Amino acid sequence: MQKENNKKDTVAERFNQIVEYLGISRYKISKETGISETVLQNISEGKNMPSIKITTKLLGTYKIINAEWWLLGEGEMLKNNTNKPITTDTNQMESEVLFLRKRLTQMHNDNSALIRTLENISSREIRNSMYKT
């Protein structure tokens, strides 16, 4: 499962995507990385940028995360590791399915909003052209 990045997200958005993808709480991330929950919350809310030490702990603990994506917002969220066997961990698969469902719903909602906007623009243009003649 790869997260395609069409725009440069903020570090806070990228952190929140990691949390959502992993399907775990900031508390669990805190316990697994040794980073305080307060620091993680501040990163999540965009109040603080992660230090090199924090970045090293996150990327060292969650090796599947693409460092270029985390640092620069470029590329895909997950590393491309073709040598890695396909997971049979049902918890990880369920997390990926949940992430994909949420992302699909978000994309569907975005598309619906865009369609409504285009329809409004088209209706306005038709009305304007009728008044001009």
CATH number of the domain where residue 43 is located: 1.10.260.40
What mean pLDDT comes out for the span 25-53? 94
In the chain, the number of structural domains is 2
What does pTM read for this prediction? 0.56
Q: Same domain for 1 and 54?
A: yes
pLDDT at residue number 81 = 57
Q: pLDDT class for 34, splitting at 50, 70, 90?
A: very high
Rg (C-alpha) for the chain, rounded Å, is: 20
Q: Same domain for 78 and 61?
A: yes
Specify the 3-state DSSP secondary structure of 19.
helix
What are the distances in angstroms from CA 124 to CA 77, 114, 131?
40, 15, 11
Q: Same domain for 102 and 121?
A: yes
**Owning domain of residue 17:** 1-84
Q: pLDDT class for 4, splitting at 50, 70, 90?
A: very low
64 and 78 Cβ atoms separated by less than 8 Å:
yes
